[in-house]
Every structure is written in C-alpha cells, then in structure tokens.
Amino acid sequence: MAEVIVPAVTVFDHNGKPDPEDNRRVIEYLLSYGIDGILVLDFTGEFTELSV
C-alpha cells in the first residue's frame, strides 16, 4: 500500500508570524482527505520568511 504525504503551506498573519489557528485549519483539511503524513517547511519556500 502506498503512503500519501503532502506538502503543506504555512499560513502567516498580517505581522509576518505563523498563524497557529489558520495552520491548524489547513492541517485538519488535509487530514480529512485521509493522507498519511504532512511535509512542513520544505518545498513551498516559507522557511525563508522565518527567523531563528
């Protein structure tokens, strides 16, 4: 059986910070389709907007 792992976008608020509530909605939406995993901060390029 193949696994389905999808990249997820990171939602930012108007101040440029990750928005926990909106990101939860994105994750719940993806999970509702029965995926096996979520890839975060990789292919969609949001990591360039984050500071350490």
Q: Classify the phi-psi angles of 34: left when phi > 0, otherwise alpha if psi is within -120 to 50, otherwise beta.
A: left
Query: How far is the C-alpha of 9 from the C-alpha of 49, rounded, in Å?
Result: 12
**Domain of residue 37, residue span:** 5-49
pLDDT in tens, the chain (52 residues): 679 899 888 888 998 888 999 999 999 999 999 999 998 776 666 666 667 6
pTM: 0.72
Please state the domain count of the chain.
Answer: 1
